[in-house]
Structure 1
Amino acid sequence: MTEKKINPFLKQVLELGPTLAFFLIYLRIKDDTFTIAGTDYSGFIIAALVFVPILLVAMGILWIMTGKLSRMQVFTAFMVIFFGGLTAYFNDDRFFKMKTSIVYAVMAGLLGIGLLRGQSYLQFVMEEIMPMEQEGWMILTRRVTMMFIVLAIANEIIWRTQSTELWVTLETFAFPAVLFVFLMAQIIGLQKYLIEVPESPED
């Protein structure tokens, strides 16, 4: 199915908005305790549970407007629902925090499997938006795989040793920013492998 074009700003709001909403909700209720069906839940767990429907609504709107969701978006939604459910069922915020480590580890594992087979699964996902020679894709995939491993380890260290508030802040802003800057640096550094796509002649 062909992806329909929407306003880039609106797309960013739908993709990043749920995470920012989680951050703001957490800040508002982080010190509160909520009693539901006789069980006390921390503000963090309530914010995590509210994040699930917000994410699903945003993804639903994105799917309706573009006609397409990426495999990464679907996988992330599944992980959020699964670990959000475990967090609520066991009333334990550790499940939601370790979700990030598992997502990064799974991505590293999938890319690593491709590398062992002499393939770049990153190329399969991104080739349409960034045409590049095979050698460039293999270099980028190896580096991105290592970056995912580093982020997974960093998340484990942070949530196990630091405060919940610091983890939420880093999860919302630092991890995405580090990954974005890393990818931009790699794209700039691999310019020589990029393939120029000839412009189609005007009618």
Structure 2
Amino acid sequence: MNAGDAPDLGRAVLETVREASAAARLIAAEEVLERLVARGFGECLGTAPEGDPCRRLAAVLSGLPAIASLASLSGRTLYHDPALLSRTYARILDRGGDPPRLMAEEIRANSRDYPRPVPVELFEAPPFDLAPAVIEAALKAMAAGEEYRDITFTTTSQGTVYLFSSLYLERNYATFLAQQDETFSMNP
């Protein structure tokens, strides 16, 4: 393989992003660049008309329809292969470092898109895998944060706590849906 060939470079970029996605990781352009240089593609990347390997890499990444980009909370652009790592899961991975935001976004999405409240235990399970203490701290942070005023809860007759967004669900309807969900889960 000649590392200077554009198809080889595109294939190497695609393989690099797919390796990260297969390991359930997002990858930034800087890390892709480091891995390509280690694989012998440094010269090819540095010979672009602009002479900037980051620009050359950005052009290659934008030309790969199998690769998706995500604007990270960190401000960086992260890449993944949606065939191996869904866009939803990629977003969850990116927000994992900010549990209140992660939880609020999921609660809002469920309230808006489905519409349904979610049991608080949802966040203990994959792909979230948050510890109960982290969930409790996130709930306290949301209760104190102005940007989370719409996040609220209802408790079923069995004592299960469900979370919902008041922007998308009315309390009575959320309570009804939570009770229905609990009833269906108890009677498969």
Q: TM-score by structure 1 length? A: 0.26
Larger fraction in helix: 1
Larger fraction in strand: 2
> Which structure has the larger Rg over C-alpha atoms?
2
Higher relative contact order (CA 8 A, sep 6+): 1
